[in-house]
Structure 1
Amino acid sequence: MRSARHAARPDSRGPARHAARPGPRPAAAPRTARSPRDGQGARAGLGRSSVLMAVGTVVSRATGLIRLVLQGAALSTGLLATTYNVANTVPTSIYTLLIGGALNSVLVPQLVRAREQHPDGGRAHEQRIVTLVLCVLGVGTVLAVLAAPQIVSLYLADTPRDHQTFELSVEFARFLLPQIFFYGLFAIFGQILNVRDRFGAMMWTPLLNNLVLITLFGLYLGLVGGPHDATGVTAAQVRLLGVGTTLGIALQSLALLPYLRDAGFVLRPRFDWRGNGLRASVTAARWTLLFVLANQVALTVVTRYSADVDTALPTAGAGNTAYFFAQTIWLLPQSVVTVTAVTALLPRMSRAVAEERLDDVRADLSRGLRLTGLVIVPVAFFFLALGPQLTSLLFGVGHHPGPTLPMGRMLQAFALGLIPFSAQYLLLRGFYAFQDTRTPFLMAVCISGLDIALAAACHQLLPTRWAVIGMAAAYSVSYLAGLLVTGARLRRRLEGRIDGRRLARTYGKLVLAGALAAAAAWAVTRTDAGAAVPALLSGGAVMALLFLAVACALRLPELNRPRARLLGAVRR
């Protein structure tokens, strides 16, 4: 594959070549000149879509958190929960390896260009891609179900001591692996809607999955009465958890069909894949597959090491499930803020690259980083200051508070890594807008390699109770290193400019305000060390007020627009 520098040249195979080539272009839908009023309408539509996405994401993540709390109450955080969580990780990992990475990053620019350049507005291209994706997913799902024991063995050891736990994970996996197909269905349907600027459905339909799982774990609690150890779970309980979990993903995916019809997409199989422009998508997806593979290798290593901790300390809550829960909480602001912003930004940046408007790409990346930082930075410091209190409140109900402490420490270890993780996620979309998937792969190799090395060191050198906490910190350190390299590479791609000084000033002020506010919140909570709710209320209030006060005193310009809107709402 050509290098990033070569791909940017006018004679390379990409959008720049089409834009610079003289002579007649293929017949396409006629375009009329857009008036300023049209531009204002488009911006208003994008604003409404962003609000709808944000609200939908918040509701989905809030119900997801309720589901997570109920899951903790039903299965606890010990060895039984690990068998379910490992089996539930497998379909996500395989889907991502099969095609998920390409769907989420490569195909949006390809679909945008097809709609811009194909005479039929890209409809036939979309139908070919959907047909290809469904065929790959169908075959991959069947093979994965047949190979369930071999797949689970990558995550859990099958030794005489661990054989019963291994077999239970395989039983769960057979029920959960069909999720691969439905994950892919949701992703491809969602991307078809995204390129039509229909963002809301993909953010709202996960609510259906969460409601199914909330009902599932509530029913499990009602029937079983609480968590058992891994040896006490019955075949009927395994079927209930497995079928119910897969049903939720299936419902979430199929709920997109009415929105696709309203958006004008016709689900029609097309197998004329050769000679119809799919080669660019497949070539780009090759690097994305390697990108995903690098990440999955790191995930597999960490899962294996953290599951070993659960085997050694089955009731300590210091292994895989605690890591999974802590990471899920840590990712919530990323899911609500950064993913929502990227969903709207990637099609815009892809169009800007296709039209050679690099200044607009820089502006979108800078604006996205600065606005998401307003939320990501203070939340990261909130997790650092109040992680144990938060996990105690969410997962300490009905159980001895001791097992939630390792999870709280993991959340603290993850905490500040949220800042580079979010920024890295957004910057990679800059490469995807250029259809450059090779550079993200190289970044993933660097990050995953460092994460694996640090996780192995934690596994070998730290006491068992602290090993997974160290792995959470290793994850954060890895993404900080990856962000530095990614920023330097993207700066070169954008001709040496990425608005670095402005970003450094903004994030410097945000980090200073967040650090001072977190220190004050931590000091306040020392007086409520045994009570999670008073500590969170008092610490959270102090932190929010002090953060806003310091940020305003530092004259952070990104606060001007939210503050003006708030004042306007109060006056009305």
Structure 2
Amino acid sequence: MNGGLYRSAHAARDGEPRAESGVTLISVDPHSGGDESLPQEDVPPVGVDASDGGTARTAGNSAIMAAGSLVSRVIGFVRNALIGMTLGAGIGDAYTSAQFLPGQIYELLLGGILSSVLIPLLVRRRTADPDGGLEFTRKLLTFAVVSLGVATLLVVAAAPLITAVQSSGATSKPYRDLVTHIAYLILPIIFFTGVSGLIGAVLNVRGHFAAPMWAPILNNLVVIATCGVFIVVFGTAKGLRPEDMTGGRVALIGLGTLLGMVVQALGLLPALRSVGFSWKWRWDPRSLGLREIGKLAGWMLCYVAANQVAVFIVVRILTRVAGKGSASVLAFNNVFLLTMMAHGIVGVSVMTALLPRMSAAAAEGRYTDVSADLSRGIRLTAAALAPIAVMYGVLGVPIAVTLFQGGAYGNDAALATGAVLVVAAFAVLPLSISYLCTYAFFSLQENRTVALINLPVVAVRIGAYFALAATLDKTLSAAGMTAGNALSYLVSAIISLSVLRRRIGRLNLGVVALAVGKVLAAAAVAAALGLLVVRMLPGAGAPDGRGEALLQVLAGGTTILMAYLGTAAVLRVQEVNQVAGMIRRKLRR
């Protein structure tokens, strides 16, 4: 029930994390192995024979994907920071608006359906068909590639209309024209993103996980190289207006972004050969059971469509303030990625460990165990994310200056981004708790419930967008949209917990409330001491350059972490020790 600007992390095995530059989703697979780092009963997951090394293989796959996820997120973040430094806030806003168009359209065409419907379908056919699902997979790929190709051509042809609607809030016609020109070059990404996702799905179903996790790194490296070439050939876009972006500048940044996704898709082909899959043209749509697929995909399409409406609205609202010296689309997205990075590294690790056991327990009607696992997940996630949220809240401005300032992205733009990150601190914990609840529903095979809950959540999010946009000064628009996201995550968690309580009984909310209360108390002490230290340092509140900002991040971050751990120890927050053990075991792997 996410909000913000994102592309789905597609093409992963059910029950395993998928990482890209956006939201990480996990589907349910009772045959996936768990993460032994969590305190749990020694019960092997359904379908995994511990005696034959199934758990060890799963742990190895998890380690490969965790490493790929971490490296991909870090490099992806470097990519976004370099885009800001190369293009600046104004031109960067136009680029970011254009870049999200293929992401939105891909989600509607294939993104959510791929992870929730097509991958489980391929798994079933691989088990049931005499040829291991080979012919069915070939037919599905043929139909999907043709459909993606036709859809991409239609979308590119309609680029002026699409960008006119999304960028209509911009007061500058040159800005709207720039978004359209970049979109022409970037929209073909839809096709290659879909191909990459489909190939990744085939690999995952055949037990190959490394390539789909590492391939996005190729994409990011190409875009990073594109930024380097742009700076060498044209210099940074500092001080440039949209009308100053020549055809050469637009072509370089647009085609470089497209080339990144092309390279990502091509980078998966060797792995496809290594698993013994040979793709051949098989045009036979009638044999695919498209009506059944459509029924299965309906609720997920409802879920995705609601989210994309919110994305469309937030882009329109932030487009109105683009290029006016305030944080807008680019800053909002950079902060959203930081929020998702915290969630991906911490929240997804906990979810990956809990989901297989929750799914197995739900399948056997052991709802008390589902409740216990959900309670454990919330407590562990809160304990792990609390210090990160405090750092974002106390050190948001110096973090933004350290990460983003440079080139065409000046100090004022970095300070404005930091203010947005401070607000995002309040979204970190509700986001992960709402996702934990969503995955609990997945374990119960209640995708319909997830989609229905998402409708009022998105309604709250959109209502908050409009209300905050109308009441706040335009310079605070990005911060207001981030606050709208945080509110919707909180609403999602509350509604989900209420429905889950009726569905599976007691959720041990008293135990959860006590543990979370201790965590928040430790976080409050850490925040107070962190603020005290930062205020005594040079440039407190508004660091002028990376030197002052880095000093604040190091001193303030160390103080916050030590104060949090110390207070948690005094309050006997057991979950902190469990999280520390989790980290130590992952590092040893």
Instruction: State yes or no: 1:224 paired with 2:234.
Output: yes
Match of 2:550 in 1: 533
Which stretch shows the higher mean deviation, 530-539 or 513-522? Answer: 513-522
Deviation per CA, 1:332-373, whole angstroms, max 9, x where unpaired?
122334346656766776676666665665566555544444
- Distance in 2, matches of 1:373 and 1:263, equals 40
User: How is 1:302-341 mapped onto 2 (pairs within 5 angstroms)?
Assistant: 302-310=314-322, 314-339=323-348
Partner SS for 1:402: helix
Instruction: State yes or no: 1:258 paired with 2:270.
Output: yes
Structure 2 CA distance for partners of 1:390 and 1:266, relative to 1, 3 Å? same
Structure 2 CA distance for partners of 1:75 and 1:383, relative to 1, 3 Å? same
Q: Quick one: which amino acid aligns to residue 487 of structure 1?
A: L
Structure 2 CA distance for partners of 1:464 and 1:566, relative to 1, 3 Å? closer
Give yes or no for contact 2:192–2:265 (8 Å, CA) kept in 1: yes
Q: Alpha-carbon deviation of 1:422?
A: 1.8
Structure 2 CA distance for partners of 1:416 and 1:274, relative to 1, 3 Å? same
Instruction: State yes or no: 1:421 paired with 2:421.
Output: no
Match of 1:150 in 2: 161
Give yes or no for contact 1:144–1:177 (8 Å, CA) kept in 2: yes
Give yes or no for contact 1:111–1:126 (8 Å, CA) kept in 2: yes
Counterpart pick for 2:97 among 86, 89, 97: 86
Instruction: State yes or no: 1:206 paired with 2:223.
Output: no
- Count residues in correspondence: 534
Instruction: State yes or no: 1:409 paired with 2:419.
Output: yes
Match of 1:550 in 2: 567
User: How is 1:509-528 mapped onto 2 (pairs within 5 angstroms)?
Assistant: 509-528=518-537
Match of 1:458 in 2: 468
Partner SS for 2:485: helix
Q: Alpha-carbon deviation of 1:272?
A: 4.0
Q: Alpha-carbon deviation of 1:93?
A: 0.3
Structure 2 CA distance for partners of 1:359 and 1:180, relative to 1, 3 Å? farther
Structure 2 CA distance for partners of 1:492 and 1:259, relative to 1, 3 Å? farther
Counterpart pick for 1:37 among 37, 51, 57: 51
Q: Alpha-carbon deviation of 1:65?
A: 1.8
Give yes or no for contact 1:105–1:429 (8 Å, CA) kept in 2: no
Which stretch shows the higher mean deviation, 170-179 or 146-155? Answer: 146-155
In the alignment, structure 2 segments of 5+ residues that lack a partner are 1-28, 31-46
User: How is 1:104-503 mapped onto 2 (pairs within 5 angstroms)?
Assistant: 104-115=115-126, 117=128, 120-157=131-168, 161-227=171-237, 228-274=240-286, 279-310=291-322, 314-339=323-348, 365-366=374-375, 368-398=377-407, 400-493=410-503, 495-498=504-507, 500-503=509-512
Q: Alpha-carbon deviation of 1:84?
A: 0.8
Deviation per CA, 1:450-475, whole angstroms, max 9, x where unpaired?
11111111221211212331121111
TM-score (norm 1): 0.84
Q: Alpha-carbon deviation of 1:131?
A: 3.4
Q: Alpha-carbon deviation of 1:57?
A: 1.3
Give yes or no for contact 1:284–1:437 (8 Å, CA) kept in 2: no
Identity %: 36
Structure 2 CA distance for partners of 1:516 and 1:186, relative to 1, 3 Å? farther
- Distance in 2, matches of 1:158 and 1:460, equals 14
Structure 2 CA distance for partners of 1:406 and 1:562, relative to 1, 3 Å? closer
- Distance in 2, matches of 1:264 and 1:140, equals 30
Structure 2 CA distance for partners of 1:388 and 1:565, relative to 1, 3 Å? closer
- Distance in 2, matches of 1:329 and 1:440, equals 25
Which stretch shows the higher mean deviation, 536-545 or 182-191? Answer: 182-191
CA-based RMSD of the aligned residues comes to 3.1
Which stretch shows the higher mean deviation, 137-146 or 315-324? Answer: 315-324
Deviation per CA, 1:200-221, whole angstroms, max 9, x where unpaired?
3222211111111111111111
Give yes or no for contact 1:284–1:436 (8 Å, CA) kept in 2: no
Q: Quick one: which amino acid aligns to residue 156 of structure 1?
A: S
Q: Alpha-carbon deviation of 1:109?
A: 3.8
Deviation per CA, 1:350-405, whole angstroms, max 9, x where unpaired?
67666666566556655554444443332122111111111111222345422222
Q: Quick one: which amino acid aligns to residue 331 of structure 1?
A: M
- Distance in 2, matches of 1:287 and 1:268, equals 31
- Distance in 2, matches of 1:549 and 1:75, equals 43
Give yes or no for contact 2:384–2:576 (8 Å, CA) kept in 1: no
Match of 2:40 in 1: none
Deviation per CA, 1:261-295, whole angstroms, max 9, x where unpaired?
33444434444444655544321211211211111
- Distance in 2, matches of 1:350 and 1:565, equals 21
- Distance in 1, matches of 2:333 and 2:587, equals 41
Structure 2 CA distance for partners of 1:470 and 1:127, relative to 1, 3 Å? same
Q: Alpha-carbon deviation of 1:188?
A: 2.6
Give yes or no for contact 2:169–2:320 (8 Å, CA) kept in 1: no
Q: Alpha-carbon deviation of 1:88?
A: 0.4
Deviation per CA, 1:485-505, whole angstroms, max 9, x where unpaired?
122223444x32445445444
Give yes or no for contact 1:194–1:343 (8 Å, CA) kept in 2: no
- Distance in 1, matches of 2:585 and 2:181, equals 57
Give yes or no for contact 2:368–2:505 (8 Å, CA) kept in 1: no
- Distance in 2, matches of 1:351 and 1:569, equals 24
Q: Alpha-carbon deviation of 1:536?
A: 0.3
TM-score (norm 2): 0.82
Match of 1:5 in 2: none
Q: Quick one: which amino acid aligns to residue 165 of structure 2?
A: L
Which stretch shows the higher mean deviation, 165-174 or 319-328? Answer: 319-328
Match of 1:96 in 2: 107
